[in-house]
Amino acid sequence: MSFIKEFKEFALRGSVVDLAIGVIIGGAFNKIVTSLVDDIITPLILIPALKAADLDDLSKLTIPGTAVKYGNFLSTCISFLIIAFCLFLIIKVINKLNKKDKEQKTQDAPKKPSQEDLLIEIRDLLKK
């Protein structure tokens, strides 16, 4: 029974639950980015290339005579770049907010006396 208890404690830890939520949201975000790339960016940017190849779908771009689908690879690379850029922006905002919080805390916190100030105070008390 202790194994089940340990597993329950592990599974219900805050960090594990947060990680699970992050993975689920990441999966949903991946679908959004994939749709953005496949349904909006690809048609807008790559229409001339697709028309030149007589294709209507990026996934149909292949090296002639092979099964290499470089269109899928291009789509995946574009999706990766969009996700990486979004994460970069999110982390940049979080770092900016954390920096503001740290600055606010250092301004609000009372200054601690230096070691010299404490020694001077002790000396003055000893004189009395």
Q: What is the pLDDT of residues 18-30, one digit of tens each?
A: 888 888 888 888 8
Type of residue found at 104: Q
Give the domain range for residue 75.
2-127
Query: Rounded to the nearest 5 degrees, what angle is found at the Cα of 117, between the Cα atoms of 111 and 119?
Result: 140
Q: Domain holding 26: CATH number?
A: 1.10.1200
This prediction has a pTM of: 0.52
Evaluate if residue 4 carries a pLDDT over 70.
yes
**pLDDT band, very low/low/confident/very high, at 1 (cuts 50, 70, 90):** low
pLDDT tens per residue across span 105-119? 777 667 777 888 888
Domain count, the chain: 1
